[in-house]
Amino acid sequence: MKRPNHSKHTKTVLMRWLTHPAHFFNPYPTVVAKRQLALDTNLREDQVANWFVNTRKRFLTPIMSDIRQVLGSERMKGVETKLDLYLLLKELAAAQPKKPCTSWITAFLADDSYGWFDAQ
């Protein structure tokens, strides 16, 4: 039996939290943050926790490794805004066009319907 995917709203809420520069390089929400994300998404706290575990494993760990290898770890230190994060990931995606991990998050950040750059 196939499990349903999370709704677009749920993914947007979780990705907004994740793509905040303060969280992207330390993607471990506190208990309070998980509780709030659960309320905002109508998920249980364990579902929120599982989403972060899966996202870190499937996307963030490979992306962080690629940033270090391709661009150098110093490049991460200059990321202070969502636009900085977008530009970093876009640079990484350009350097590795065949890697879908980076392009997935970059496309998500670039979608102006979410207003990613409104609150820097």
| Model pLDDT, residue 6 | 86
| Model pLDDT, residue 32 | 97
User: What length is written for the chain?
Assistant: 120
Structure tokens at 86: 């977008």
pLDDT digits (tens, 9 = 90+) for 82-109: 888 888 988 888 888 777 666 667 676 6
Model confidence pTM above 0.85 = no
List, for the chain, all residue ranges whose pLDDT scores fall below the cut of 70.
1-4, 100-104, 106, 108-120
Distance, in Å, from the CA atom of 36 to the CA atom of 16, rounded to the nearest integer, reads: 13
Task: Report yes or no: 29 and 16 within 8 Å, Cβ to Cβ.
Answer: no
Any idea of the CA torsion for 76, 113, 27, 61, to the nearest 10 degrees? -70
Give the position of tokens 């760990």. 61
| Model pLDDT, residue 120 | 45
Distance, in Å, from the CA atom of 106 to the CA atom of 36, rounded to the nearest integer, reads: 25
